[in-house]
Structure 1
Amino acid sequence: MKSESIHDSSNEYNYRNIEVVRRDNVITVALNRPDKLNGVDMVMFDELIDISRRLKRDRQLRAVILTGNGDNFSSGLDFSAMMANKRFAAQLLVKVWPGSANRAQQVSANWRALSIPVIAVIEGYCWGAGLQIALGADFRICSPNANLSIMESKMGLTSDMAGSLGLREVMAKDQAMRISMCATQLDAARALELGLITEIHDTPMQAADDLCQELALKSPDVTAAIKHIYTRYWTAPAWKLLAYETYSQIRIMLGQNFKQAQKGLRNKTAASFKSRQKYW
Structure 2
Amino acid sequence: MDYQHIEVERKKDVVVVSLHRPNKLNAVDKIMFDELVHVSKYLKKDRGLRAVILKGTGDNFSSGLDFKSMMSNKRYAVQLLFKWWPGNANQAQQVSANWRKLSVPVIAVIEGYCWGAGLQIALGADFRICSPNANLSIMEAKMGLTSDMAGSLTLREVMRKDLAMRISMCATPLDGKTALDYGLVTEVNDNPMQAAEQLCQQIENTSPDVTAAIKHIYNRYWTAPAWKLLAYETYSQIRIMIGRNFARTQAALRKKSSPDFKQRQRFW
Displacement of 1:139 in angstroms is: 0.2
Residue of structure 1 in register with 2:251 after alignment: 263
Mapped to 2, the partners of 1:141 and 1:52 lie a distance apart of 20
Query: Secondary structure in 2 aligned to 1:186?
Result: coil
Residue of structure 2 in register with 1:60 after alignment: 48
Residue of structure 2 in register with 1:8 after alignment: none
1:141 counterpart letter in structure 2: I
Residue of structure 2 in register with 1:10 after alignment: none
Residue of structure 2 in register with 1:235 after alignment: 223
Mapped to 2, the partners of 1:50 and 1:263 lie a distance apart of 38
Mapped to 2, the partners of 1:196 and 1:149 lie a distance apart of 10
Residue of structure 1 in register with 2:99 after alignment: 111
Q: How does 1:219-234 map to 2 (within 5 A)?
A: 219-234=207-222
Mapped to 1, the partners of 2:180 and 2:224 lie a distance apart of 26
Residue of structure 2 in register with 1:5 after alignment: none
2:143 counterpart letter in structure 1: M
Mapped to 2, the partners of 1:170 and 1:269 lie a distance apart of 36
Provide the aligned length of Structure 1 versus Structure 2.
268
TM-score scaled by length of structure 2: 0.99
TM-score scaled by length of structure 1: 0.95
CA RMSD of aligned residues (A): 0.5
Residue of structure 1 in register with 2:116 after alignment: 128
Displacement of 1:70 in angstroms is: 1.0
Query: Deviations 1:151-170 (Å, cap 9, x if unpaired)?
Result: 00111100000000011111
Give the one of 62, 74, 91 matched to 2:62: 74
Q: Does 1:39 align with 2:27?
A: yes
Q: How does 1:1-280 map to 2 (within 5 A)?
A: 13-280=1-268
Point out 4+ residue stretches in structure 1 off by more than 3 angstroms. Answer: none
2:172 counterpart letter in structure 1: T
Displacement of 1:82 in angstroms is: 0.2
Query: Structure 2: which 5+ residue stretches go unaligned?
Result: none
Displacement of 1:48 in angstroms is: 0.1
2:198 counterpart letter in structure 1: D
| Aligned-pair identity (%) | 73
Mapped to 2, the partners of 1:106 and 1:261 lie a distance apart of 35
Query: Secondary structure in 1 aligned to 2:211?
Result: helix
1:265 counterpart letter in structure 2: L
Query: Deviations 1:217-248 (Å, cap 9, x if unpaired)?
Result: 00000000000000011111111111100000
Mapped to 2, the partners of 1:239 and 1:96 lie a distance apart of 31
1:23 counterpart letter in structure 2: K
Query: Secondary structure in 1 aligned to 2:246?
Result: helix
Mapped to 2, the partners of 1:157 and 1:204 lie a distance apart of 31
Displacement of 1:106 in angstroms is: 0.2
